[in-house]
Amino acid sequence: MKLRAVIAEHILFQFRSRYLDLHCATARERYEQLLQRCPGIVEHLDLQDIASFLNVTPKTISKIRKDITFGKD
């Protein structure tokens, strides 16, 4: 029972964090957070998959990557 409670608490925390990120953070902030949590993810997933996870268009991710690469803030 205790394990179930811990797992449920963890899932609810993740759900709440994801909800707040989608509604409070900008697309760039969400992308940067994803890169911090999973540094090698861009080598393993397509642009479309990352965009879908972040709830933005692939074009938006492309612009964010361009801005990061060429130093625009």
Q: Is 65 exposed, middle or buried (0-12, 13-18, 19+ CB in 10 A)?
A: middle
pTM above 0.85, yes or no: no
Instruction: Locate 19 and state its tokens.
Output: 């909800």
d(CA 70, CA 64): 10
What is the reported pLDDT for 1? 86
Pair 28, 67: CB distance under 8 Å: yes
- Residues 57 and 13: their CA atoms lie apart, in Å, by 26
Residue pLDDT tens, the chain, 73 long: 899 999 999 999 989 988 888 889 999 999 999 999 999 998 999 999 999 999 999 999 999 999 988 876 6
3-state secondary structure of 5: helix
The confidence score (pLDDT) of residue 73 equals 60
